[in-house]
Chain A
Amino acid sequence: MSIIVNLDVMMAKRKMSLNELSEKVGLTLSNLSILKTGKAKAIRFNTLDAICKVLDCHPGDILEYKNE
């Protein structure tokens, strides 16, 4: 898929672990892992909202479009 999830980059910038993000966002570790590894088929707006709030970033910082 042409959409790349840069969640791990943002987590590294904010020095936040997956466990910490999972607790703060309220998502399970397995769901966050699916998102981080790019296996997810879709992301809900409220999930994106929670992640952006916790990581203090914009959706564009997490999602990137790359033309293949």
Chain B
Amino acid sequence: MKISTKQMLNVLYVLSWVIFLGLCIEAGGFIFNAFFTQVLNPVGAKYFWQEIDLSSLYKYDHVAFFTETFVMCAIAVMKAYLFYLIVKILYDKKLNTYQPFNEETGRFVLKVSYVSLLIGAISWCGCEFTEWLVRQGVVMPDIQYLRLSGGDVWLLMGVTLFVIAQIFQRGIEIQTENDLTI
């Protein structure tokens, strides 16, 4: 049985929704726990999120704790935003398979590339900061648990998408020209 583009898009739509909801829960959890620990009860640092224990960091320096949690929250929010963009374009049915080179899709690819680049850059900074904290003698969880790993992959994806977006822009120009040739 041949799987059509429409069926594939439907599967991707459901998957995107599931991932988007998961990322929203994670981002919400990070933001709530960061706020809870800093404003209400410092014990929240020990049970920050799943296997993440940031009590050592909290004891070391409050500003460092704020920076680390801020980076984690920012990455989680941007990942959720990335999937929001995917869900939105699939929900609005803006992916026209008959005329794929339209302004909406071009903007979408460009936005996704910018967000990926930003996630990559912040992940890399967060990673470096965590390594610096470890060198200062702070007991830190693995960067994988802190959701800071894979910065290089995000950067690679961002650059690739950026190049695709530039090619897409040319495709849009050619299609517009073709549409306006009588």
Contacts and interface: CB of A to CB of B under 8 A. Distances in A.
Nearest to B179: A41
Contacts of B182: 27, 31-32, 34-35, 40, 42-44, 47
Contacts, number: 23
Interface in B95-119: none
Interface residues of A, number: 12
A39 interface: yes
B67 interface: no
Contacts of B176: 41
A41 B182 CA distance: 8
B180 interface: yes
Contacts of A32: 182
Interface string B162-178: 00000000000000110
A39 B181 contact: no
Interface of B: 176-177, 180-182
15 contacts: A27-B182, A31-B182, A32-B182, A34-B182, A39-B180, A40-B181, A41-B176, A42-B177, A42-B180, A42-B181, A42-B182, A43-B182, A44-B181, A44-B182, A47-B182
Given A34-B180, A40-B182, A42-B182, 12 more contacts: A31-B182, A32-B182, A40-B180, A40-B181, A41-B177, A42-B177, A42-B180, A42-B181, A43-B181, A43-B182, A44-B181, A44-B182
